[in-house]
Structure 1
Amino acid sequence: MANEKRSPTASLILSQDSTQPCSLAASCCGYGIMVSLRTCFHPCTLSWIDIISHPTSQRRVGSGMMYIEPSEDLVWHSCFDNFKCARLLLPLDWTDSSKPGRITLAIIKIPATDLSDYRGAVWTNPGGPGGSGVYSLRRNGHNLQKIVGRNHDIISFDPRGIGASTPRLDCWGSKQNSKVWKLQDVGLIDSHPGILYDAYARAYALSGACQETMNQATTGQESLLNHVSTASVARDMLEIMTKMGTEKMKYWGFSYGTYLGGVFAAMYPDKVERLVSDGNVDYLEWSTNTHTSFLHDSDKILKAFYTYCHAAGPRLCSFYSPTTTEISRRISLILSNLKTHPIIVPSVDPISLPEIITYSSLKRLISAVFYRPVLLFPSLANVLQSLELGNGAPFVDLVSTFGMRTPFTCDCDSCHSDLGGPDEDADIEASDDAMAAVMCSDGGEMNDTAEEFAFYAEKLIAGAQATGAVNVDFRMTCVGWKAKAKFRFTGAQPSLSLMIRNSPCCS
């Protein structure tokens, strides 16, 4: 049992303005984090509350977990500033917990400050899959507590294989290999004829390399890749609850975290008190790896840019035109020109490198801006106006300022394996490599040939012209993935989801 047992929980009440495209639910749907504009993630995967609103969101800081001894009991330790942390030993294989394999979960809590009317804990997951609950809670947890009430604890954790939980999902064995791989990005599949086949082969190669690396890292137990499904994570949550002495869960999940919450509720319906799904993932599409309808509203956000830019006038919108149709035409022309004439941004000093602004990089920027439209629409207008004149400097400034890419660095520490314990470098917003491992475990094997995948991609792009090409990479992640989940949930999802309007990814 945990060393802090509390009184029964009460209701969780949240309010949300569904009319704003930049509302919390819309802004937190992220295919994850734009670690680099060369790297595509699911538009519905991670919390964008932090990624774009805070330029330093990619900064790495000490995790604090390394000082805590893992235990089979849930023991809270003081950590960071006014947080409580624990490292909990759990079975690797929930289908046979008698096996010797173990994982260690990193768990974090913001204790309630109003104990006169204590209402228990609210759990949260930032999304992903791959999002670090430890990272997210340290940066956003106090804001969540203001909403749900200071008479609630706020609890999150790094799901198995992610962040400060160990062993860690790592497709490359070193950060350096991962960085070099990303530099070989081939661009969006509609940027040039035949690119889809390059991207398909690249996805197949990545799947094989990831599975080989993880299998080699396995020492005396089954591969972690067979035990990272959402069902396994939901079972972890139940075990944490049991050790806390909590009868029912109150949960607030973002993006992929809505699927995690839905699976938990479906597996353990008698253990749920309140569940808030913020930026919903389509449960059926996720569990079958189809992913065809999640972008239905994305084109509406681009049309909103046309509308608000025109309404703002030339003084407030630097990309103003007399009609919204003209704004649309100018953007299409910029993108078309970039396919044949990328814009070169010269280096600014002897140690920097020149930049090349391509069709793919602009499309990815537009997709990223959709997660914080009120904040970033003015900057996007400035970028577009400058690109129209052949000036790419504002583009470089925007993606650099808002942490939409991580500059390539080469340091000796990056050459060593990252598969060890929860060291200081483990506290990052998300694990790139967890996406495929979790998503492909949940959805089952995807056997599309390149030609079959091309048909899927064509339909996705036709239905979402603004961001479809960017998000084709989401499902492509599972090309060539052979590792199968030993514990996979395929049952019914009884939850009723109420959706916001104009979400860039969860519509």
Structure 2
Amino acid sequence: MNTIRTAAIPVFIFSVLLRAQAASDFDWTKVTATKELNWTPCYSGLQCARLEVPLDYSAPDNRVAGIAIVKYSFKSPKSEYRGPILFNPGGPGVSGVDAIVASGEAFGTIFGEQYDIVGFDPRGIHYSTPAASFFKTDVDRAQWEHPGVDDTYPSLNSSYDVIPTQRARYQLLGTLAEIQDTKNILQHITTDNVARDMLSITEAFGFEKLQYWGVSYGTVLGATFASMFPDKVGRLIIDGVMDGEAWYSGNITNSMEDTDATLQTFFDRCAAAGPDACPFHAPTAAAIAANLMALSTSLIDTPIPVITNVSYGVFTYTYLRNVLFTGLYTPYTSFPLLAQGLAQLATGNATILYQMAEEIPYECPRGSQRDPVEFDQNDQEASIPTACGDGPVVTDTVAQLRESYEIGAKLSSFWDMFGNWRVRCSGWKVHRKGHFMGPMGASNTSFPLLVIGNTADPVTPLSSARRTSGYFPGSALLTYDAPGHTSLTAASSCLHNHMRQYFQNGTLPEAGTVCSPDEELFPSTSGNKTVKRSAQDLKLREALRQIHAAVQPMTLRHLPRLR
């Protein structure tokens, strides 16, 4: 038995079904990696290929990797064709192929029909080969993911022995990965090599300079590319920015500078919206926060059993924290549902909140050996080789990990959700000497970058966008006055018209430009706030919703789930 993890009900279950449909619609095992792009029809109206690239760019004549690529082809006349735009949805370890399969046409709506919209699976991930694997069989993987009810992803502050236990657990995982890595693949699954792969993809299309949109971890990838290949930047948007210097140093504590501020927007907007729009309403934001704290505390002593139509379980304090934290990524879809769930929880019923992070069971074959061309990975296999292999070797003792936790906990009350990153890397043993670790930045990019940051992003604060813009003189910083993770949090005709103009005309927003979302966190039920929008704006808004529905669930799959 294994599980598919989900979060907010309608969007996320839809996305899981989309991915399952995509996986059944095309057989990647029949696609051979070639030095040129040999396209074959795939999915519904798309084109797929595998590009052969060096596994080790310092020894290009030796072993190779096959990068899985999908494109939504340009629709304009051939004379207007402007090349590929590559998209990376974050992670590390999220499938760019799945993102374009689910929403390629929507990307074309945003950027224009003169471009091929291209998704790719970074080396080692999903449909790219060779795949990163720490386990021999799916049963081995299931045993790792589900050793017990509370053992998989416990809150780091749930008990005194959690940090030493988790450290030992990831020492074990690091050893398993090292044993399974008989062909020395894992050391090559690093961000700098993925940046080189993006240049290889661009050149395979017949172009010299990269056109790119990267969100979340995809901003580290984009900034790394611009730092390594400043003369190869055609257009490059980084959106929801992680500080690359912090990433490569192995210290991402500053990622949570705005996490609690994102939750505060729930309190503030709920109080302002009124009880009809926000069922968890109270007269003041402070009162709503206090009510949430009281409900959270009550779950410590009185967890609530839940049975749904697909599963059952116990709704606990840590489960609630998981729901709250993941909800901060997607507030425009999650906050209204969260308000309903909290109001229901106040009556002793946790069904809605339980379903917001429910695990949907499915069967998997027992005992089958790993097929090297199968692409089922767990989230650890997809993310750890890059997340830990990019930075320095982490040899922290339990005492040092506890000290690191205390530092992060002072920054955000949600650090127990995010601090496991360093614990995970304390067991990682595979590092390649000489890989890129900075410095970030370049004063001479062939075209200025467009850097986008939200005012209340739970894991990529606006300060990181400002710092990163400073690494690249001449770049433009576009501020999005919205809570949530990346510009995909909500449609904004202002922001996405700036993105379109950047790609179409090379136009950068003026210094100090701030855009607002076209949506409300808690839409009015009165109908008196209807805003007339052009047909183009409505089309753009629907396209952004499609991309959001496809990409954000994939990103959330790579978050640890507390139990």
TM superposition score normalised by structure 2: 0.74
Secondary structure in 1 matching 2:90: coil
- Go from structure 1 to structure 2 and tell me whether the alpha carbon gap of 1:186 and 1:503 turns closer, same or farther (over 3 Å shift): closer
Q: Deviations over 1:170-191 (max 9, x none)?
A: 2223333323322232520122
1:202 to 158, 169, 173: 169
Give the aligned residue type for 1:295: M
Q: CA deviation at 1:140?
A: 2.2
Q: Could you list the runs of 5+ residues in structure 1 that have no partner in the other structure?
A: 1-33, 39-48
Corresponding residue of 2:339: 381
Describe how 1:419-438 pairs up with structure 2 within 5 A: 419-421=371-373, 423=374, 431-438=379-386
Describe how 1:211-360 pairs up with structure 2 within 5 A: 211-215=178-182, 218=183, 223-345=184-306, 347=307, 354-360=312-318
Q: CA deviation at 1:74?
A: 2.2
- Go from structure 1 to structure 2 and tell me whether the alpha carbon gap of 1:58 and 1:75 turns closer, same or farther (over 3 Å shift): closer
- Go from structure 1 to structure 2 and tell me whether the alpha carbon gap of 1:261 and 1:96 turns closer, same or farther (over 3 Å shift): same
- Go from structure 1 to structure 2 and tell me whether the alpha carbon gap of 1:201 and 1:386 turns closer, same or farther (over 3 Å shift): farther
The 8 Å contact of residues 138 and 364 in structure 2, kept in 1 or not, is answered as: no
* Aligned-partner Cα distance in 2 for 1:504–1:148: 27
Secondary structure in 2 matching 1:103: strand
Q: Deviations over 1:76-135 (max 9, x none)?
A: 222222211111222211111232x22211111111000242222111111111011111
Question: Which deviates further from its counterpart, 312-321 or 367-376?
Answer: 312-321
* Aligned-partner Cα distance in 2 for 1:315–1:472: 37
* Aligned-partner Cα distance in 2 for 1:473–1:53: 29
1:502 to 448, 452, 456: 456
* Aligned-partner Cα distance in 2 for 1:37–1:472: 21
Corresponding residue of 2:421: 474
Q: CA deviation at 1:388?
A: 2.8
Question: Which deviates further from its counterpart, 180-189 or 438-447?
Answer: 180-189
Secondary structure in 2 matching 1:250: strand
Please tell me whether residue 106 in structure 1 is matched to residue 75 in structure 2: no
Please tell me whether residue 119 in structure 1 is matched to residue 86 in structure 2: no
- Go from structure 1 to structure 2 and tell me whether the alpha carbon gap of 1:328 and 1:57 turns closer, same or farther (over 3 Å shift): farther
* Aligned-partner Cα distance in 2 for 1:87–1:278: 27
* Aligned-partner Cα distance in 2 for 1:277–1:375: 23
Q: Comparing both structures, which one devotes a greater share of its residues to helix?
A: 2
* Aligned-partner Cα distance in 2 for 1:51–1:353: 16
Corresponding residue of 2:526: none
Q: CA deviation at 1:491?
A: 3.0
Please tell me whether residue 87 in structure 1 is matched to residue 56 in structure 2: no
Describe how 1:128-143 pairs up with structure 2 within 5 A: 128-143=91-106
The 8 Å contact of residues 127 and 257 in structure 1, kept in 2 or not, is answered as: yes
- Go from structure 1 to structure 2 and tell me whether the alpha carbon gap of 1:378 and 1:65 turns closer, same or farther (over 3 Å shift): same
* Aligned-partner Cα distance in 2 for 1:37–1:202: 24
Secondary structure in 1 matching 2:5: coil
Q: CA deviation at 1:444?
A: 2.0
Please tell me whether residue 416 in structure 1 is matched to residue 416 in structure 2: no
Secondary structure in 2 matching 1:433: helix
Question: Which deviates further from its counterpart, 455-464 or 490-499?
Answer: 490-499
The 8 Å contact of residues 84 and 205 in structure 2, kept in 1 or not, is answered as: no
Secondary structure in 2 matching 1:105: strand
Corresponding residue of 1:148: 111
The 8 Å contact of residues 121 and 250 in structure 1, kept in 2 or not, is answered as: yes
Q: CA deviation at 1:151?
A: 0.8
- Go from structure 1 to structure 2 and tell me whether the alpha carbon gap of 1:434 and 1:135 turns closer, same or farther (over 3 Å shift): same
Give the aligned residue type for 1:455: E
Considering only aligned residues, what root-mean-square deviation do their CA atoms show, in Å?
2.5
1:455 to 389, 403, 406: 403
The 8 Å contact of residues 95 and 486 in structure 1, kept in 2 or not, is answered as: no
Give the aligned residue type for 2:72: I
- Go from structure 1 to structure 2 and tell me whether the alpha carbon gap of 1:486 and 1:166 turns closer, same or farther (over 3 Å shift): farther
Secondary structure in 2 matching 1:331: helix
TM superposition score normalised by structure 1: 0.82
Q: Deviations over 1:256-305 (max 9, x none)?
A: 11111111111111111110001111101111111110011111111111
Q: Deviations over 1:406-430 (max 9, x none)?
A: x343432x53234511x5x65x9x8
* Aligned-partner Cα distance in 2 for 1:66–1:379: 40
Give the aligned residue type for 2:453: M
Q: Deviations over 1:188-230 (max 9, x none)?
A: 0122333222222222222222222233xx3xxxx11111111
Percent identity, aligned pairs only, is 29
* Aligned-partner Cα distance in 2 for 1:275–1:361: 38
* Aligned-partner Cα distance in 2 for 1:437–1:503: 25
Corresponding residue of 2:324: 366
- Go from structure 1 to structure 2 and tell me whether the alpha carbon gap of 1:199 and 1:385 turns closer, same or farther (over 3 Å shift): farther
Secondary structure in 1 matching 2:20: coil
Give the aligned residue type for 2:352: P
Corresponding residue of 1:177: 140
Corresponding residue of 2:160: 193
The 8 Å contact of residues 174 and 415 in structure 1, kept in 2 or not, is answered as: yes
Q: Could you list the runs of 5+ residues in structure 2 that have no partner in the other structure?
A: 443-448, 462-563
* Aligned-partner Cα distance in 2 for 1:339–1:239: 53
- Go from structure 1 to structure 2 and tell me whether the alpha carbon gap of 1:369 and 1:53 turns closer, same or farther (over 3 Å shift): farther
The 8 Å contact of residues 168 and 419 in structure 1, kept in 2 or not, is answered as: no
Secondary structure in 1 matching 2:44: coil
* Aligned-partner Cα distance in 2 for 1:35–1:458: 32
* Aligned-partner Cα distance in 1 for 2:382–2:56: 18
- Go from structure 1 to structure 2 and tell me whether the alpha carbon gap of 1:188 and 1:35 turns closer, same or farther (over 3 Å shift): farther
Q: Deviations over 1:448-486 (max 9, x none)?
A: 111111111112122111x22111122322111110124
Question: Which deviates further from its counterpart, 58-67 or 107-116?
Answer: 58-67
Structure showing greater relative contact order (alpha-carbon pairs closer than 8 Å, 6 or more residues apart): 1
The 8 Å contact of residues 129 and 256 in structure 1, kept in 2 or not, is answered as: yes
Q: Deviations over 1:312-332 (max 9, x none)?
A: 222222211222212111211
Question: Which deviates further from its counterpart, 488-497 or 445-454?
Answer: 488-497
